[in-house]
Each structure stands twice: as C-alpha cells, then as structure tokens.
Amino acid sequence: MNRSKSDETALPDRPTRGDYCRALPQYLYPKRLLSALMFRATRIRFAPWKNWQIRWFIRRYGVDMDIAAQADGYADFNSFFTRALVSGARPLPAAEDHLVSPADGSIYDYGRIVEGSLIQAKAHRYTVAQLLGDPSCDAAPFLNGSYLTVYLSPKDYHRVHMPVSGRLVEMVYVPGSLFSVNPSTARAVPRLFARNERVVVRFQTALGAMAVVMIGAVFVGGIETVWHGAVTPARSRQISRWRYGAEGERPWTITRGAELGRFNMGSTVVMLLERGDLQWRSDLVSGGRVEMGEALADYQTDGSTTS
C-alpha cells in the first residue's frame, strides 16, 4: 500500500456549497439523542440483528477482516467495531527514536503549531487553548510545538495507541457538541474539534509534554481509556479532571505502540507535542493515509532531530 498517497475524500479544502448544506442540519437535529440511540443499537446482542449489522457494515465500507484478531462471533456490533488486530498487523519501527502514528486513518493536517494556532481545514484555524477546553489546562508547552490530526473513517481500526513512550500526567473530559467529524463537516464548521465533546490525555515524554485529544462526534457511543474505562458518555456535563503520579503514587507509564484508548464508533485524534523542531517524514502529505505504528518523524532526546 502507498501510505502517503493522497486520499481526496479526506483532504481538507475550502468548504463547498454542498458542505454547508450537509452541515446546516447538524445545528438543528438532536445529536445527543441520536448518539444515545446509537449507543444502545450497537450493543444489542440479539444474534440476527447484530450479525446483520456486522455483515452490512463490512460490505458497505470494505472492512479488511483479514487482519482482525477475531473473524466472527462478536457479542455485539460495538465489539466488532472496536476489534483487535492480529499480532504483527501494525509493526513498530525497530529504532526507538521514531514518533509513530497513534491511529489508522487519514491525515487532516500536521506540522508546526504557530503561536498557538492549528489548522483544521484550509478555511479554518483554532487554538491550542480552545482545543484543551479547560481554562486551567496549561497550553503554554504547545504554543510553538507540533501537531498531527488523524481522521478515523468507519472502515478503520478504532483503537488509539501511544505515539511515543510517556508517563501519564492528567486526563480531562471536556463537554461539548457532537457534530460529525467527517471531512465535509470539518470544512464547513469553524473550530469543529474545539467545539465537540472530547477527552484530553496529557503525558510527559522524551519529547517534552504531549497531549492526545480524542474527539467525540455524533453517533460516537463512547470514548474509553485503558486505565479508566469509559469516559464518555459522561454522567455530568461538567469539565472533569483526573491527575496521576502524585507523590507516593506509582507512576503510570505507557510504552510506544501500546493501546491508550478506543472509540466506540469513529472519530478523530489530535496529537500535540511540545517539540516544534520535528523533521516529519518527507513523503507525508495532508490527506494521505497512515497506519497505527507507522513512523512519522525521527527525533533525538538531546534536543536535535534527524530526518
């Protein structure tokens, strides 16, 4: 597979009239109710129903079941959707000084954060502070750092993994809307990723501070992390924070490539890094496909980078 080949269905561009027409109803319809119904529908264990759901989905989206750890026999549709992969399906680079993709998907954009500003699509920018959501969250480490945004389409593998080994510092649930995060909506809705419900997970790594932001969306039945379990749907619509590694508490370190969390239905991941001098892989392109564990950039811990 040519992993850097541009995928025009995912490449952000200026919004078209069709994008606005598809986005406008999302301001009006009951997104949270629809998501709650989807949550229930994807957990029905009645065999004829869930088997039909799974077969239809595989045909509709061309899901590659050859790399699924389990061919069939899923308890419900959500178990299928969050399926594990066979061992070795996503090999990591042998060299430790490689930053790797946190997920399978299409790159919305990547590169340098300029004075705290990130690109959502060519017509829209948003800030690190808006993405982190909570005014008490420290945005300063990322203001001139690096970022990568990956969109997970319905056919993709929907577990999120560590781009680089790191010590867990904090997790924040940020309430918000539930717009779709597909490319059309990303082109049409300003500050989309900073408006939607999301889970912000912060780490300390060899590259300094890192945040992995898992963005919720309409029909996303929940966001989970491996240490906490389900974070969304949340019982409270208030900002919630969990801090880790307090004095006397055993530090929680997650190694590069290990599972961090998963989406129950698909969405988007935004990765923020303190280091702004990364040398990204030369053939990496916005709109291109990446796989979890694929090398994105090289780095050295003495403050320099290698190409």
Q: Hey, which residues are catalytic here? A: 104, 161, 267
Residue 183, SS3 per DSSP? helix
CA pair distance 275, 297, nearest whole angstrom: 12
CA pair distance 129, 47, nearest whole angstrom: 46
Q: Which among 211, 191, 227, 222 is positioned nearest to 273, based on CA atoms?
A: 211
Q: Which two tokens stand for residue 26?
A: 């999302």
Q: Are 268 and 185 in contact (CB under 8 A)?
A: no
Q: Which two tokens stand for residue 166?
A: 């790191």
CA pair distance 239, 5, nearest whole angstrom: 39
Looking at the DSSP bridge assignments, the partners of residue 121 are: 124
Q: Is the peptide bond before 163 cis (omega within 30 degrees of 0)?
A: no
Q: State phi, psi for 166 to the nearest 5 degrees.
A: -160, 160
Tokens 């053939």 belong to: 283
